[in-house]
């Protein structure tokens, strides 16, 4: 099992898409859980040909940068190669 963390400068409202985690780009990878650090509980997510789509909560855990923790198997170990769509 591998954990990847994505840091963001601001919390997006709605759905955040991480294109690099699209099903066709991670054929052997399986995402099991997505968390927002500082927020209680796992987040709703789907993974399709466009990317990993994470539904962000309405309440933000802080006023500064936030981070997503993505847990699964077969995920790439260098998160700097991932890009996040829907940046504010």
Q: Which domains does the chain have, with CATH numbers?
A: 2-81 (2.60.40.1180)
Q: What's the pLDDT score for residue 30?
A: 86
Taking residues 33-41, report their average pLDDT. 87
The whole-angstrom separation of Cα 71 and Cα 73 is 7
CB atoms within 10 A of CB 63: 8
Highest mean pLDDT among 5-14, 18-27, 37-46: 37-46
Q: What's the pLDDT score for residue 83?
A: 46
Taking residues 66-71, report their average pLDDT. 85
* Statement: residue 29 has pLDDT above 50: yes
């Amino acid at each position: 099992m591998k954990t990847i963390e994505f840091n963001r400068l601001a919390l997006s409202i709605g759905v955040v898409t991480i294109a690099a985690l699209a099903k066709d780009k991670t054929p052997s990878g399986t995402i099991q859980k997505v968390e927002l650090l500082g927020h209680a509980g796992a987040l709703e997510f789907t993974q399709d040909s466009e990317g990993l789509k994470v539904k962000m909560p309405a309440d933000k855990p802080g006023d500064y940068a936030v981070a997503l923790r993505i847990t699964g198997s077969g995920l790439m170990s260098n998160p700097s190669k991932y890009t996040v769509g829907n940046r504010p």
